[in-house]
Structure formats: C-alpha cells, structure tokens
Amino acid sequence: ASDDMNSGNRFIPQRHLLARRPPEYEKGTMLKQFGLLLAALSALLPPVESLIQVDGQCPVYVFAPFTDIIGEAAWGFVNREEEVPVGFKQMTGALLAEKHFNARDASVVPELATLGGCPIVLNISTIFDSMPGTHVASQTLARHPTPCAIVGPSTDFVAFELATMSQAARFPLVTTRNIDPRLILEEYRSSTASVYPDMFGSSETLVDFLLHKGRDDHVAFLYELTATGGIRQELFRLYAEYQDISSFFVTYVVDEVDEALGKFEQSLSRRTMITALQEIKRRGFRTIVVAMEEPIASFPALANAAEELQMNNGDYFYLWSDTPPSMHTWHQNANTTKLVVGSAWVVPYSFDIENSSFESSWHQQGQDLVTRLNELNPIQPNKTGYYHAPEDFFQTIDGGIAAAFQYDTVISVGIGACNAKKEADGAISGFNHRFSIVNSTFGGATGPIAFNYIQSQRSSRNRNTASWSAINIRADDWVVSDTAASGASGLEWKEVVPFQYANGSTQPPLPLRTPTEQNHLKRGVKIFGYTCMSLTMLKALASMVWLWVYRKEEAIASSNTGFLHVICVGTIIMSATVIPLSLDASSTLSNAGLDVACMSIPWLVFMGNLITYSALFTKLYTTHKMVSFSKKSLYLLAPMVALLSSAILVLILWTTLDPLHYQSKEIDKISGETVHSCIGESSEAYAVSVFGVNLIAMGMVTFMAFKTLDADGSRNETWWIMILLLIQVETVVLAAPIVVALSDQAKPNPQYIGYVLLILSLPSSTLYLLIFPKVLAHYRRDKEGNHKRKRGQMGHGQVTGLDAPNNDTKVAVTATAGECAVEGT
C-alpha cells in the first residue's frame, strides 16, 4: 500500500470496494439480462492454444462507433455535423498503427525500432460498427473466425459483450476506453486491457485537479443511479477522504429513464435532477462534480434544473467526470450554455497538436492509406454513418483523440505479441499474449503507456503515464487551461492559461460553501441590548450623583447614602453583563477573547447581584443594631465581606479549574447551521454554588427586612425592600423557564433579548424601588412645602429601624428650618 501511494497509485481495496456496493446497483443493469446469452454465444468459439498463425500473422478485428445505439450517425468530437465521424477516425488510427507496426516505423513509437527481429505481422482486414444495437457486436463476432485480438470498443455495453467472448476463446481484448472497473480487474476479466486510464485513475485525477484549483473542501458529487454510477461515487469518496475533502454524494434519475424503470427500481429512494440539485443547494456546496451515464438525456435536464434554481450564475464551479456532455450539445440552448461556460473537463489527452509526433506522421500519409480506408469502411454508401475520405484527407483533417487512442490499442497488441514471442518456445497462447500486453511499456500517440497490472492487478493504463488536460469551456470556444504530467510525487498540474470562470473572471467563485446560518446576533438586536444597558447604567450613575448632591437632606442622610452608593455600583456591574453577552464569532475578537468574554458573564452577573444584596443586608443590619450603639462599623460589615469572599472564591476556582469556552456546534449536518454557546465540563456545579451564595444573601436580606418592619412606613424603606424582593423573585421564577425554552430553539436573537430583559430587570427594579421613592419624596416635599418647620419649634422624632425603644432611651429632636439635631442617650 505504501509503495502504491508513493508511486501515485494510492492503495484501494478493490475487491472489497465492489463487494460492498448495494445490491440495487447490480439488479438494475442490462448486463444481468443478457448474461446467459453471452455465455451461449461464447460457447460457439472453441478455445484454442494459439491465435497467432505460424507465419506470425495476427488477425486483428477493429470495433468503432460509426453509428449510435439507435442507428443514427455517431457524433463527432466537436459537433454533430463534424465532417469526419468518430468511428471513421478510430478506424483510421487503427490502420495507421498497423502500417507503422508492420514497417517498424518509429516516428511515433520509438520502441518499434527495437523489434526488427520480431516476426509478428498485424493484419486488419475487418472493421465492425460497434454501436448499431443490442448484442450486434457479439453476434457479428460469432459469425467470424476467431481473431488474434480485438481492439476498439469505447463503451462498456459493447466491451462487456466482447470481453465475455474473449474470455471464453482466450484472445486479448484491448479497449480504447471503458468505465466499469469490472472490465479491467483481474479477478473479473483476465483477457482484457485498456490503453485508457480506468475509473480509479480518473477519480484520483479529478481530486488532484480540484486541489490544484483550490477546491479543497465542500465538493458535491452528482451521479446517475446505475451500476457504474455507484462505483464512481465510491471511488471518488475514497480519494476525497484521503485528501480530507468533505464531500456530499447525491444521485439522480432522469425523467425519461425514470418512466422505463421496473418495479424494483421504482421502490428505490431516488431523486430527479431538480431535487438532486435542490439538495446540493441546501447544503451550500459550490463545487459540483458531475458523473453522467447518458449525457444526451441528463445534460439538458441538468441545465434546466440549474437555471430554475439559479445554480448557473457564477457562484458554482462544475467539473465533468469521465462521460461529459458531447461538445455539440454545449450550446444547444441558453440553459446549456450558461451551465457549461466556466466549467472544466479533465481528459487524459494532450491537445498540443503542433508538437505531436502522431499528428505530424498523420499529416504525412498519402493516397495508399486513403484508398484502404475507403475500401474497409463497414458502412455502405447512402447508409447512415457513411463517410468517403477525399484524396487530401490526411492533409486537411487532424487525427485527434479518437484516432490517437485507437492507434495505441493496435500498437499494444503488436508489441505484446512480440514480447510474448520472445518468451514462448513455440505457439503463443492468447493468455500469454494478453499477459505480455499488460506488462509492456512504450511511447504511444497519447503519451507514454504503462499498465497497472504489476502494481494492482488492473489491466488498465497507469494514470501517471497519460498526458492529462483540463479543458476550460468558454462562451465561444474551449481552451486547455491546465496540463498534468508525471512528477516525483505522481501527477503534477501546471497552469497553461488562466482559467476563466462563469462570471468571466479568472478568480474562482468563493467561498467554497454558501455561507450557512451561523445564528449570530443581528445588529438591531445588539443595539437593543446596548441601549437597555446604557439606560440602566445611566439611571444608576444619575442616582449616585443625586444622592451625593442631597446627602445632607433629612430623608437621604437617614438612609445611609454610603450603602446606597454601593447598591448603585452593584447595579452597574450587573448591567455590564450585556457587553460580553453581545459578543460572538461575528465580532473581531479572537477565540481567546471570546473565551474571556464567556467567563466574564458569571463574574458580572453573580458579583453585581451579590454586591447589591450584600449592601442591602448590611444597611438593614446596621439599622437594626443601632439600638444598642455598641457595634463597630467593621463588625457590621462582616456578613457582607463573608458573602463576597465566598462568591469570589467559587468564581476563582471556576475560572482556574474549568473556565467557560466559546464553542460553535453544527446542529444541521445538511445545511451546516451552527449555534454558539459558552460551555465548560463542570460549569453547572460552579454555577449552582455561586448561585447558592446569592440565594443566601437574598434570604438574609429578607430576614433582616422582617426584623426592621416596626419602623414608620412613611420614613422607612424597608417596605420598599420587601416589595423589591417579591418582584425580583417573581421575575426570576416567571422569566427563567421562558429563557430556557428559547435556548432550546437554537435561535439566539430571541434568547438574547430574553437574557437582556431578565438581567436588566434586576438592577432596574432595585433602582426604581430604592432610589426613586426618595427622589419623588424629596420633590414632593419641595412642592408642597409641608416638610419645613419654624426655627425653635419642638417636635418628636423616631430613629429609623429601632426594634422597641426601652425606657432608658431618650431622644429629643429639635427641628429648626428643616434641620434636625438629635440629642439623648
């Protein structure tokens, strides 16, 4: 496995890969339907030990697609009206290879110069049309003598038929291209080979190209529900996971195909093209790899669905897998044009015609080969798919990808036969011939050729020997934007020209994933929180200023303004909780800063509340103890210090041992929706402990308030404190469940509003019920003028908070112009 990875062919458990595919992939294929027929046909071909004649003659049958599966003319590489059909070009490539091999012409393949002593002579006398209908290839072959080898099938449908027959008759089959791995895995087929990289290699190359283009995450793989479609997605998944690319796989069934499915397929859970794209859009993945089996039907459906969902507007990057839509379909309508423009197609062929030795040799061919082409054309004049080569055929037409790969199939048969002849003591068996083919290496028309047989028991071409190109489809043309060749670490991609994306820019569409719902606080909600906090703090500061200005007033002085100032400070601290509560990942803070903000929340909430209640208790406790005039001020502050020390100790332990951390959690794997919270492993235990200290403070305030209720209600704030306690307890009891319910809904904005209102209701109610009554009383007395007394007039007064004046206590109050003097013991 390590050696395979280092050589660029990463280890894949091939046997287990095919074994673990769901059974529905197999049951719906046409291969099962005619398996028995192929077995019967193969029985007509008796096994022989040698298919190469004594004089070295090797009869080769060529299969090329002159017509398609329904009998129409096969499409050219560029457009339907292309002058030369793809089948005719493949036939031409095969005949040119035969000519070069028999003449040992090394103008394209240097290794031919070393085969001077080899007696093998290739003989191509029969060309077959491989695409006119079901089973035609196998039926046609059954009526002909057994060949030395077959070359040329470029579709799995035909290749499977011929592979079964070649297996039975023991002659090699070399395909120009096949998709299904079962055609090249030794455990499935021991008679086949392919000069085209297999699905393993193409899947790995697609992943490498995505990395080269920076599409290293959030890749959607759209594939058709077929046998090979399932293998495609499994292989792409393995290579994507190897590169740590998060990927999503979605299958589809084209509507036209869907109508023809049987009961078994109808019972499957599947998607049409529109629902498949909807699923991709929901997840937000913007890189889409498309693997089609029937592009003629799938491509228009995909284009229409992309237009309906607005997934062709430049925000997405499309990459076509092994079977792309034919070039002539790219611009058949506005929707298809919008879809393909800015997309890429990765193909194992170099389009550098000017520097191609194959194209150079092609253009040097003369009338002799033109005459032979027209003589061997399997399509009769006036029949669909017929083409007659003119005298200047080789001078006016390029060979291209179709001819080049067919050329290499024929050369591999010849070189394999020569190598087998060296090792054989006599006749060459078909098994030895094929074994020599998959162990051969040579420089072909499509680049250096070596097979995967030695490394991984696959009879396909090693992907590192192919000359890969990335075609960038543009509005009016296509260009090779990137190329890849074998390097020290496998294939190495390099840019030829800047890639042009759908929006006309050379900058790729970013981000790789549509921004998902992060559930950050909205700006308006934060403004609401900060506004409420500011108003509360402003009220507290104004109260402190007012208390200081009127500190000598009778009603103010008797209330011990020092403790009232401490209470105001506590409300300010608690109100400040809104600041860290408003911070999230959308702010400029780092993760460490957000962690600090999380941990500051319990400090501000609990300490602010505890300072307020401690000051209230100490104020009441001081008033209660004034009757004896025997307690020192430090002693009276002891309960307040004890409560604050306990809370600070718990908070320090919490901060040191298990601080809160800001964490983002994905709550929807499909859409990527995320929520954010402050969490800690033991946060509940610490929170309960410090909350318990606050409850003790509240209980002590309540107890002391009852102890001081004997005072005159008009001159004593104890009643206001009792009302305050009742309101705050009721607020917490009613609001807390609502806030908890909001937190379960994963909606931060209503949850934030609930927290703000709950937190600020406590300091606000404290200010309203402790400070504002004094302010109102002060201005009411100023307005009514009833609080003034004449100088020297004697009155009676009562010290606030005395439990029960005893007989030894004498107090004389002298009121002069509103100033009180207390005399007595």
Query: Is 789 inside a domain boundary?
Result: no
Higher pLDDT, 653 or 585: 653
| 37 pLDDT higher than 60 | no
Structure confidence by residue, pLDDT tens digits, 686-724:
999 998 998 898 888 888 888 877 654 444 677 888 888
Classify each residue of 45-76 as buried b or exposed e, where b means 16 or more C-beta atoms within 10 Å of its C-beta: beeeebbbeeebebbbbbbbbbbbbeeebbbb
The pLDDT value given to residue 729: 87
| 134 pLDDT higher than 90 | no
Could you tell me if 164 and 218 lie in one domain?
no
**Kind of pairing between the strands at 317-320 and 287-291:** parallel
Could you tell me if 568 and 701 lie in one domain?
yes
Q: Which residue has the tokens 């193909």?
A: 347
| 682 pLDDT higher than 60 | yes
Query: Is 614 inside a domain boundary?
Result: yes
Structure confidence by residue, pLDDT tens digits, 384-418:
888 999 999 999 999 999 999 999 999 999 999 99
| 91 pLDDT higher than 90 | yes
Residue 392: how many other CB atoms lie within 10 Å: 10
CATH (domain of 628): 1.20.1070.10
Could you tell me if 381 and 489 lie in one domain?
no
Residues 6+ apart with CB under 8 A from 144: 61, 126
Query: Is 46 inside a domain boundary?
Result: no
The pLDDT value given to residue 471: 95
Which token pair is 673?
């929706």
**Mind spelling out the 3-state secondary structure of 645-656?**
HHHHHHHHHHHH
From 190, 143, 128, 173, select the one nearest 41 (Cα to Cα).
143
Could you tell me if 232 and 89 lie in one domain?
no
The secondary structure element, H or E, covering residue 485 is strand 478-487
The pLDDT value given to residue 434: 94
**Mind spelling out the 3-state secondary structure of 174-185?**
EECCCCCHHHCE
Which token pair is 45?
């071909």
Torsion sign over Cα 650, 656, 658, 664 = positive
From 513, 504, 507, 509, select the one nearest 473 (Cα to Cα).
504
| 185 pLDDT higher than 80 | yes
Could you tell me if 162 and 239 lie in one domain?
no
Structure confidence by residue, pLDDT tens digits, 791-824:
444 444 444 444 444 444 444 444 444 444 444 4
Question: What are the angstrom distances between the C-alpha of 114 and each of 10, 58, 109, 120, 425?
Answer: 33, 19, 10, 13, 20
How would residue 669 be classed by pLDDT, with cut points 50, 70 and 90? low
Could you tell me if 402 and 489 lie in one domain?
no
CA distance 687 to 650: 9
How would residue 255 be classed by pLDDT, with cut points 50, 70 and 90? low
Name the H helices within 626-637.
633-636
Structure confidence by residue, pLDDT tens digits, 534-586:
999 999 999 999 999 988 887 777 777 888 899 999 999 999 999 999 999 88
From 597, 524, 533, select the one nearest 756 (Cα to Cα).
533
Could you tell me if 530 and 453 lie in one domain?
no
Residue 360: how many other CB atoms lie within 10 Å: 13
Terminal-residue alpha carbon distance, the chain: 100
Domains identified in the chain, total number: 4
Higher pLDDT, 301 or 71: 301
How would residue 473 be classed by pLDDT, with cut points 50, 70 and 90? very high
Containing structural domain, residue 299: 1-29+198-347+467-515
Lowest mean pLDDT across 261-265, 422-426, 791-795: 261-265
The pLDDT value given to residue 817: 40
Structure confidence by residue, pLDDT tens digits, 112-132:
999 988 999 999 999 998 876
Could you tell me if 471 and 559 lie in one domain?
no
Query: Is 103 inside a domain boundary?
Result: yes
Could you tell me if 218 and 268 lie in one domain?
yes
Strand positions, DSSP E, 652-734 = 661-666, 674-679
Q: Which residue has the tokens 């050589």?
A: 7
Residues 6+ apart with CB under 8 A from 395: 363
Q: Which residue has the tokens 């029985």?
A: 43
Most confident of 138-147, 155-164, 575-584, 659-668: 575-584
Structure confidence by residue, pLDDT tens digits, 53-68:
778 899 999 999 888 7
For the segment 459-476, the average pLDDT, to the nearest whole number, is 93
From 752, 687, 720, 532, select the one nearest 619 (Cα to Cα).
720
From 803, 636, 804, select the one nearest 708 (Cα to Cα).
803
For the segment 39-61, the average pLDDT, to the nearest whole number, is 66
CATH (domain of 321): 3.40.50.2300
- Helix, strand, coil share of the chain (percent; to 5): 50, 15, 35
From 123, 119, 185, 181, select the one nearest 151 (Cα to Cα).
123
For the segment 203-215, the average pLDDT, to the nearest whole number, is 96
Tell me if residue 657 falls in helix, strand or coil: helix
Query: Is 47 inside a domain boundary?
Result: no
Angle separating helix axes 156-169 and 35-43, nearest 10 degrees: 40
How would residue 777 be classed by pLDDT, with cut points 50, 70 and 90? confident
> Are the C-beta atoms of residues 451 and 442 closer than 8 Å to each other?
no
The pLDDT value given to residue 635: 62
Query: Is 816 inside a domain boundary?
Result: yes
Could you tell me if 117 and 212 lie in one domain?
no
Could you tell me if 628 and 752 lie in one domain?
yes
> Are the C-beta atoms of residues 679 and 660 closer than 8 Å to each other?
yes
CA distance 408 to 81: 27
| 728 pLDDT higher than 80 | yes
Query: Is 673 inside a domain boundary?
Result: yes
| 773 pLDDT higher than 80 | yes
Residues 6+ apart with CB under 8 A from 103: none
Residue 585, judged by CB atoms within 10 A of its CB (0-12, 13-18, 19+), counts as middle
**Share of residues in the chain with pLDDT > 70 (%):** 80
DSSP structural state of residue 461: B
Lowest mean pLDDT across 252-261, 316-325, 586-595, 608-617: 252-261
Query: Is 721 inside a domain boundary?
Result: yes
Q: Which residue has the tokens 């991709």?
A: 280
For the segment 476-505, the average pLDDT, to the nearest whole number, is 91
- For Cα atoms 615, 619, 622, give the angle at the middle one, nearest 5 degrees: 135
Which token pair is 337?
């044009």
Angle separating helix axes 638-657 and 591-625, nearest 10 degrees: 160
DSSP structural state of residue 556: H
CA distance 463 to 200: 9
Could you tell me if 528 and 588 lie in one domain?
yes
CA distance 62 to 129: 9
Lowest mean pLDDT across 194-198, 589-593, 620-624, 805-809: 805-809
- For Cα atoms 384, 386, 388, give the angle at the middle one, nearest 5 degrees: 160
Strand positions, DSSP E, 242-360 = 247-252, 287-291, 317-320, 344-347
Structure confidence by residue, pLDDT tens digits, 745-769:
567 888 898 889 989 999 999 888 8
Higher pLDDT, 70 or 727: 727
| Residue 604 amino acid letter | L
The pLDDT value given to residue 634: 56
**Kind of pairing between the strands at 287-291 and 441-444:** unpaired
Lowest mean pLDDT across 2-11, 43-52, 88-97, 182-191: 2-11
The pLDDT value given to residue 619: 82
Which token pair is 568?
């105001």
